[in-house]
Each structure stands twice: as C-alpha cells, then as structure tokens.
Amino acid sequence: MSYNKKFMVKPGEKIHLDKIDPAYTDQHESHEKALPKIQEHVARMDKLQYLLYADGDQSLLVVLQALDAAGKDGVIRHLFSGMNPQGTSVFGFKQPSKEEAAHDFLWRAHQRTPGKGEIVIFNRSHYEDVLVVRVHKLAKKSVWSKRYDLINDFEKMLSSNGTRILKFFLHISPEEQLERFKQRLDDPARNWKITDADYSERELWPKYIAAYEDALEQTSTQHAPWYIIPANHKWFRNLAISEIIADTLDEMGLKLPPTHVDMEAIRNKYHIAEQKQAGKGNGQLDKNSKP
C-alpha cells in the first residue's frame, strides 16, 4: 500500500495518537537499506519541481506540524535542499508580530501561500492558532473553536485556485523527544536549538496531543489531507514524506509548456549566429555586426 493511502487521515476519521506507533518502519530494516529509495523519491521531487515551475499552472503547499524536536527542520533540510531555490520557499511561523496579531489569524498565512508554479513549505502554520493558542489559552474557546471551519474554507479556496495541499504531522514519542533533548545538550553544535520553553511545553504533552487529535479529525479533507507520519526514526520519516510528495506531484499531470516561438525560424537564426561565430573564432562578437 502506498504511504499516501496508509498514513492519510480519512475525512471524519477518529484519531487516537496513542494507538499509532511512532517507531513504525514498515518492512524497512535500516537507514542504509532505505536510503536508495529516499534518494529516488528526492530525485523525483526535484525533477517534478522543475516541471511544476515550467508548467506554471498549479502549486504545492506543504504544511509541517509537530511537537518540539520531532524533525520539522530535518525534513526541510533533507528533502528540499536539492530543489531549485527559484520557485521554492520556506516560511516559519513564530509568535505573531504586532502587525500580524492585529489581523485575522489567516492573514499571515495567506500572504505566504504559493503562487502558480511554486512550492511553499510552512514550518508550523495557521494550525498554531488551534494548537498553541488553545493549549496556552491565548484565545477563548468560542474564538479558536470556530477556526476549524474557517481553515477548511480557506484551504478549499486555495485548492480551487490550483494549490495542492499536503499536511504532515510528525508523530514522535515522549521518550524520543527526551533523547533528542539530550543530544541537544551533549552536542555543542546543537546547543543553539535549546529553548527555555522546551521542558515546560513538554509538561503540556497530553494537552497538545488532544489539540492535535481535534485538528487532525476536523481538518483532514479531500482537498487538503493530513498525514500522520511515524517519526521516531528520522530516515523512515524522510522516506514516507518524500514518497507522498513525489507521488502527489506525479499525479498533478505536470508538463513542459509548448513553446511560443517559431522553432524553424529560431533554428535558422541559430545557424547564422553559429557560422558568424566560427568565422571570428576568437569568442568575441564583432562590434560592427548587426544582430
């Protein structure tokens, strides 16, 4: 079964995250054994991104959400670094600025959605407004509880404008999170990732899980599905996400656009230029020659 089918949250499905194994690796035994497949998917993603850009008719929005240290940054680094920066961008959602907070919660997200031909990755997203905002009571229930419908409408509108939306929840266990916090302490190159909030947020784990379960249940739709990705093993996380993205781009029917020029006439111009160039032989165009 494809990972697209296997990990997709069906619209209306009830979610119990504690029943989903975050250490799942399918039939794959190790990173080494899975690596050729990951590389194959990433190469396919890169090729299809070129086509998406050339085609210029559709776009892709990838949403990454997770608890701390689940690997959102790692997904971006490992899977998207081969893509052409022209046509790909990442936007990280931090605490809203004063200007952002003065607007509706979708305002900042809408400004960053991909234009035709583009891929945009949301590192955190408008979903923070039903996650951290709910857990920390930054808005009243009467406010955040209306946001699921608003998000569904917003994503439907993006979808009808040619944007494919893929939303990934990276699912890790509390044990794995603690192990990664330890690595951040032990490895000086990772010290910078530690924040004061890491341990206080960890205390709120059950509240975050409840908020995630609601979001996954209420906002996984045909046009903007959620995927729950087992993410204790970084390589399996990368394998699953790269397959889903590559398969989705494949389904989009991308093609190189037809040329708008008279190819015969252009070929003739090329041959004339080639002959002139050969006559000069020094790699310089003659200043007096007419183009």
Binding positions for Mg ion, rule: CB under 5 A: 68
Examine residue 118 and tell whether it contacts ligand AMP (CB under 6 A): no
Distance CA 190, CA 202 (A): 19
- Which tokens belong to 102? 């003065």
66 forms beta bridges with 170
Distance CA 3, CA 245 (A): 10
H or E stretch covering 269:
helix 263-280
Examine residue 168 and tell whether it contacts ligand AMP (CB under 6 A): no
Instruction: Select the span of 121-129, 178-186, 237-245, 250-258 touching ligand AMP (CB under 6 A).
Output: 121-129
Examine residue 132 and tell whether it contacts ligand AMP (CB under 6 A): yes
Strands 59-66 and 119-123: parallel
Examine residue 155 and tell whether it contacts ligand AMP (CB under 6 A): no
Examine residue 33 and tell whether it contacts ligand AMP (CB under 6 A): no
Pick the closest to residue 129 from 211, 71, 224, 206 (CA basis): 211
- Which tokens belong to 140? 């009243």
Q: Can you tell me which of 52, 63, 130, 133 binds ligand AMP, judged by CB under 6 A?
A: 133
C-alpha distances (whole Å) from 132 to each of 26, 105, 126 are 31, 13, 11
Examine residue 94 and tell whether it contacts ligand AMP (CB under 6 A): yes
Pick the closer one to ligand AMP by CB: 218 or 248: 218
Pick the closer one to ligand AMP by CB: 10 or 94: 94
Distance CA 179, CA 173 (A): 10
Examine residue 96 and tell whether it contacts ligand AMP (CB under 6 A): yes
Pick the closer one to Mg ion by CB: 68 or 176: 68
We find the least distance from the C-beta atom of residue 143 to ligand AMP, in angstroms, to be: 12
Residues making contact with ligand AMP (CB under 6 A): 92-96, 124, 128-129, 132-133, 138
